[in-house]
Amino acid sequence: METLFTKIINREIPAKIIYEDDQILAFHDIAPKAPIHFLVIPKKPIRTLNDLTEEDKPLAGHLLFTAQRLARELGCEDGFRIVMNCNELGGQTVYHIHMHVLGQRQMHWPPG
């Protein structure tokens, strides 16, 4: 089922896009929870982390590596946090997998 992230990929709704290639898209979160808060998503509409398959391994690595590179480019070299919420109990609200990258403030543990 299509989510609003598909609409962002297809430019049907606007977003502040940071990076794009043939496989992934990164854009700023609409409701940032830190001075830097962006999302890195695959263009392939995978609903949850539970739906990731063996064939998605290179894609998962590409997402992670891009998140690391963009965090550094956006000034988070001193530290940042990556979060992926899975399903309702994990706090997921948009059913198209995404990495949250948060930075430029002190993070705390455990998260809520």
- Residue tagged 């992934």 (tokens): 24
**Residue number, 75 or 91, with CB nearest to ligand 5GP:** 91
Residue 100 appears among annotated catalytic residues: no
- When asked if residue 85 is in the footprint of ligand 5GP (CB under 6 A), the reply is yes
- When asked if residue 35 is in the footprint of ligand 5GP (CB under 6 A), the reply is no
Q: Indicate which residue of 37, 96, 98, 100 is catalytic.
A: 98
- When asked if residue 30 is in the footprint of ligand 5GP (CB under 6 A), the reply is yes
Lateral strand order in the sheet of 24-28: 17-20, 24-28, 36-42, 99-103, 80-83
Among 1, 11, 31, 109, binds ligand 5GP (CB under 6 A): 31
**Are the CB atoms for 37 and 29 separated by under 8 Å?**
yes
- When asked if residue 101 is in the footprint of ligand 5GP (CB under 6 A), the reply is no
How many CA atoms does the CB half-sphere of 28 hold within 13 Å? 12
- When asked if residue 9 is in the footprint of ligand 5GP (CB under 6 A), the reply is no
Which pair of tokens denotes residue 100?
């949250």
